[in-house]
């Protein structure tokens, strides 16, 4: 009997201990490794073992959703990176309803591998890795780890077989773990097998292939309607049908011409695709697209014409006179060059795909080239149908100018990507929406004939000699003005689901801008000024600094409502929108508590005197690091949202609460805290 009681007590103790430790979720277990590949090359591996139900995101997702896994290697003259970081594992790609976007992630295990080549006999390789972990209902704060690889390579040839004597020292500075491999010999046969394995592990595209193809086809169709392309269709078809020695010859020449156009656009996609992944996440890439769209928009509005140098066109035109296949190919090349002033922005839009594969841009350009070349081939087979084409006229310029407005609006999306990623805070949500409202309102007025640009003709006249609007023009004007009006409520926080993902998040507003640059002052219910607060959800006065909030709570003799949250926390937004909006809950938060929201993923740098070490011995560099450490060390919890009610001595008034979408239970949680505070 005593033995049974002993085991029961032991199990109870183990359960109690595990229940306390389980509050701090640590579902990711990382190990590192390094292998010599020969010729001074090494493969650095970051191996993830992931607990059930959790997952880690791929490197190749947009910044609009969860934080992607990323690796930053410090540059050094002692080594060079060979290619990009490879992802070896079973990738899952599906639509995430929480983020309302298609995401790529890994479950169970994944290995991130980077190949490097030594320039000297030894190298010290410093790498900072960042990743984010989620399950189906919560996300943990983004975590950053620093690693140091110290590699020495002494290679020599022995007969015909190459061996390497390698001393590798891997130091994981985040966990103080060290792994040292000495005098390891690796033959070239093993190396070649390893390289083959890596080359076959390319991650799949973030966007489905059919979506990339349709995007390219849509861009090609719009490009056909431009003034420098559409009139060329009957001219080119007439050239092949009238100047060929036979109808059969004319058809074959038209087909070769069309296929040449497709090949040229696919070649462009191939050249761009090899560098697309490196560009897509960089500030240079997004700023370059921003500048390109602004320039093309101004050009489409009629300020100037963008032209390819005449010398290029003349050389291509002369080459087209040679005849034969080569001559037809250069005719297609001349067409592509001449039409670039109109097709450029649509090509830019088509190749801007969310993909990890270099051939994604080729697929997009195949769709673009196919639709672009299709009319030249189709009407060569059915020349009689040319009469059914609309005649060229002022309507083509109207389309061009209209797309100038749209490109002007789209340009600010690329700038917004950089602005949010680097925390410049120069384009908050309100300013972004103001720009879009004005642009689409002006587009509506233009289509109604209230605005005119350089190349615009007068409106057509009816039987009575009076100008009138065509029905399509009126309908598009109405659509544009309605869209502008739809955006207006977004200035006051409306979600704007039709354009979800395009404007900055509702949290990225002027309130955040003022809080980063010293804070602003709000007014409470009595009209008194509350220093260092910003307007939070439902116009609540919210602190973002814990110490200032605690001091104010002591001064006003109110309980402190601590909201551990995150900028990218989906459940945090759901709680704010569906639970905090309740009349009773909102009344308690506004009048009975001092509210402080602590963002665990905030990237604002801490002052040097606050950059101390966290519970793992890592240096805390950002405000998010500080509040993540606070939540873990004080409350043994690292998932958000997490709500804690404290008195002036920082003692909990009741059991803290995670996300709870039952409004009645959450209101009881608040009232229990108020009741316990009043008893003291």
How do residues 549-563 score in pLDDT, each as one tens digit? 999 999 999 999 999
Q: What is the mean pLDDT of the chain?
A: 75
Name the architecture of domain 27-199.
Answer: Sandwich (2.60)
Residue 440 has a pLDDT of: 94
Residue 53 has a pLDDT of: 84
Please determine, for residue 383, whether its predicted confidence score (pLDDT) is greater than 70. Answer: no
* CA 640 distance to own-chain centroid: 22
Does this chain's domain 27-199 share its CATH topology with 520-679? no
Residue 570 and residue 622 in contact, taking contact as beta carbons nearer than 8 Å: no
Please determine, for residue 50, whether its predicted confidence score (pLDDT) is greater than 70. Answer: yes
Q: Write out pLDDT tens, residues 418-460.
A: 776 566 788 888 999 999 999 999 999 999 999 988 778 888 8
Q: Rounded to 5 degrees, what are φ and ψ at 555?
A: -65, -40
| Pairwise CA distance, residues 635 & 654, whole Å | 12
Reduce the DSSP state of residue 61 to 3 states and report it: coil
| Pairwise CA distance, residues 510 & 497, whole Å | 20
Q: Kindly indicate the confidence band of residue 64, based on its pLDDT and cuts at 50, 70 and 90.
A: low
Residue 584 has a pLDDT of: 92
pTM of the full predicted structure?
A: 0.45
| Pairwise CA distance, residues 427 & 433, whole Å | 10
Q: Write out pLDDT tens, residues 270-307.
A: 776 655 544 544 567 778 778 888 888 888 888 877 66
The share of the chain scoring above pLDDT 70, in percent, equals: 69
User: CA end-to-end span of the chain, whole Å?
Assistant: 47
Domain boundaries, the chain: 27-199, 209-392, 407-499, 520-679
520-679, which class in CATH? alpha beta
Nearest to 79 by CA among 114, 117, 43: 117
Number of residues that make up the chain: 680
| Pairwise CA distance, residues 627 & 78, whole Å | 37
Residue 474 has a pLDDT of: 93
| Pairwise CA distance, residues 240 & 608, whole Å | 73
Peptide bond connecting 272 to the previous residue in cis, omega within 30 degrees of 0? no
Question: Residue range 134-142: average pLDDT?
Answer: 77
Q: Kindly indicate the confidence band of residue 486, based on its pLDDT and cuts at 50, 70 and 90.
A: very high
Nearest to 379 by CA among 255, 264, 260, 256: 255
| Pairwise CA distance, residues 171 & 174, whole Å | 9
Q: Kindly indicate the confidence band of residue 496, based on its pLDDT and cuts at 50, 70 and 90.
A: confident
């Amino acid at each position: 009997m005593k033995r049974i009681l002993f085991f029961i007590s032991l199990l109870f103790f183990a359960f109690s201990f595990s229940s306390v430790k389980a509050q701090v979720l640590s579902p990711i277990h990382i190990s590192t490794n390094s292998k010599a590949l020969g010729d001074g090359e090494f493969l650095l591996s970051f191996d993830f073992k992931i607990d059930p139900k959790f997952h880690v995101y791929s490197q190749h997702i947009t910044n609009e959703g969860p934080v992607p896994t990323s690796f930053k290697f410090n540059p050094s003259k002692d080594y060079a990176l060979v290619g990009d970081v490879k992802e070896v594992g079973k990738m899952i790609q599906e639509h995430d309803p929480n983020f309302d976007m298609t995401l790529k992630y890994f479950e169970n295990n994944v290995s991130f591998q980077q190949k490097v080549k030594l320039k000297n006999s030894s190298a010290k390789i410093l790498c900072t890795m960042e990743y984010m972990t989620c399950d189906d209902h919560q996300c943990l704060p983004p975590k950053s780890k620093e690693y140091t690889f110290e590699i020495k390579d002494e290679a020599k040839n022995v007969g015909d077989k190459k061996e390497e004597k390698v001393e590798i020292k891997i130091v994981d500075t985040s966990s103080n773990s060290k792994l040292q491999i000495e005098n390891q010999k690796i033959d070239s046969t093993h190396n070649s097998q390893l390289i083959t394995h890596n080359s076959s592990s390319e991650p799949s595209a973030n966007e489905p292939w059919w979506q990339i193809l349709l995007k390219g086809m849509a861009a090609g169709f719009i490009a056909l309607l431009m003034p420098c392309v559409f009139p060329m269709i009957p001219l080119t078809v007439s050239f092949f049908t009238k100047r060929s020695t036979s109808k059969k010859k004319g058809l074959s020449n038209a087909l070769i011409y069309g296929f040449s156009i497709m090949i040229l656009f696919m070649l462009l996609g191939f050249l761009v695709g090899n560098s697309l992944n490196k560009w897509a996440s960089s500030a240079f890439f997004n700023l370059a697209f921003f500048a390109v769209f602004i320039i093309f928009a101004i050009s489409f509005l009629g300020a100037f014409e963008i032209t390819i140098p005449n010398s290029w066109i003349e050389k291509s035109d002369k080459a087209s006179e040679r005849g034969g296949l080569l001559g037809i190919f250069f005719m297609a090349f001349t067409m592509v060059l001449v039409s670039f002033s109109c097709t450029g922005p649509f090509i830019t839009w088509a190749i801007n795909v969310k993909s990890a594969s270099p051939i994604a841009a080729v697929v997009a350009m195949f769709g673009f080239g196919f639709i672009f070349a299709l009319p030249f081939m189709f009407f060569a087979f059915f020349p009689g149908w040319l009469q059914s084409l609309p005649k060229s006229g002022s309507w083509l310029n109207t389309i061009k100018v209209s797309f100038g407005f749209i490109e002007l609006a789209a340009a600010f999306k690329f700038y917004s990507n950089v602005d949010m990623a680097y925390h410049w805070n120069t384009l908050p949500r309100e300013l972004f929406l103001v720009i879009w409202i004005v642009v689409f309102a002006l587009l509506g007025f233009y289509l109604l004939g209230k605005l005119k640009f350089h190349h615009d003709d007068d409106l057509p006249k009816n039987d009575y000699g009076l100008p009138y609007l065509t029905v399509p023009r009126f309908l598009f004007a109405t659509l544009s003005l309605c869209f502008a009006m739809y955006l207006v409520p977004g200035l006051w926080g409306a979600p704007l689901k039709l354009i979800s993902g395009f404007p900055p998040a509702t949290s990225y507003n002027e309130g955040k801008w003022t809080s980063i640059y010293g804070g602003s002052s709000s007014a409470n219910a009595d009209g008194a000024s509350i220093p260092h607060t910003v307007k939070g959800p439902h116009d609540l006065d919210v602190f973002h600094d814990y110490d200032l909030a605690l001091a104010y709570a002591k001064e006003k003799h109110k309980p402190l409502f601590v909201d551990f949250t995150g900028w990218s926390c989906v459940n945090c937004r759901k709680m704010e929108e569906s639970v905090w909006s309740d009349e009773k809950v909102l009344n308690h938060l506004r009048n009975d508590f001092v509210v402080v929201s602590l963002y665990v993923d905030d990237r604002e740098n801490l002052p040097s005197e606050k950059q101390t070490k966290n519970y793992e011995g890592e240096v805390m560099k950002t405000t998010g690091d500080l509040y993540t450490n606070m939540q873990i060390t004080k409350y043994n919890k690292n998932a958000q949202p997490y709500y804690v009610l404290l008195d002036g001595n920082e003692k909990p008034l009741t059991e803290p609460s995670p996300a709870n979408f039952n409004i009645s239970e959450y209101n009881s949680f608040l009232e229990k805290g108020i009741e316990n505070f009043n008893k003291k």
